[in-house]
Amino acid sequence: MSKRVLLAGILGGVALFVWGGLSHTVLKLGDVGMHDLPQQAAMVNAMKAAIPHSGFYVFPQMDTGKIAAADENGPWGVLVYQPTGASSSMTRQLGKEFVLNIVQALIVAFLLSFAVGLTSYTSRVGYVVVLGGLVSLATNVEYWIWYGFPRNYTGGVMADKFIGMLIVGLVVAAFVKTKTASVTTMQGKAA
């Protein structure tokens, strides 16, 4: 990996991390569609009594791939549960997010370095924007389809990811230049 690709990935990751902070704290894109749990104290006490282990839970139970007739009209959903409580410090989570953002931007810079024929800055940014579209669709739409995540939440998260990758593209494309496509002919050579 060249120094320019490495530098592009690191700077792109920093830019993505800064964007993530703005999108979540100022624009609140990560909070769109989220609601506080009604009657939280009663619900939390019931969960403490019923759910002893951390995990990702789906209800109603779907062991056979079919929902029982009694559950068809009842509530359904998903729950990510940690019985031990949340840490009041976000330092560890922010550190993990920062490393993730650097890795994402490094992958983008690496992929862009292999894209042939994207000689203009705009074409290189466009390439990364297409990757951003893929990133924003990849998991978010599946969660909407299969787990019923709210449309407005899905749209907000997709916008956050898409804009983040646009920003990565603006940074990375300034450093990573791609090669022009060369055409080699076999004129005058016997086959």
**pLDDT tens-digit map of 140-150:** 999 999 888 99
The ranges assigned to domains in the chain are 3-34+88-175
Q: Which residue has the tokens 């907000």?
A: 156
For residue 91, name the pLDDT band (cuts at 50, 70, 90): confident
Lowest mean pLDDT among 86-100, 141-155, 162-176: 86-100
- What is the pLDDT, as a whole number, of residue 188? 47
**pLDDT tens-digit map of 113-167:** 999 899 999 999 999 999 999 988 988 999 999 888 999 999 999 999 999 999 9
- What is the pLDDT, as a whole number, of residue 103? 97
- What is the pLDDT, as a whole number, of residue 1? 65
CA dist 50 and 43 (Å) reads 10
**pLDDT tens-digit map of 39-65:** 999 999 999 999 989 998 888 876 665
For residue 98, name the pLDDT band (cuts at 50, 70, 90): very high
Cβ neighbours, 10 Å, residue 55: 12
- What is the pLDDT, as a whole number, of residue 152? 93
Which of 77, 93, 84 minimizes the C-alpha distance to 51? 84
Strands, DSSP E only, in 10-166? 55-59, 77-81
Would the pLDDT of 82 be above 90? no
**pLDDT tens-digit map of 3-43:** 999 999 999 999 999 999 999 999 998 888 888 889 999 99
- What is the pLDDT, as a whole number, of residue 21? 94
Q: Which residue has the tokens 């560890």?
A: 92
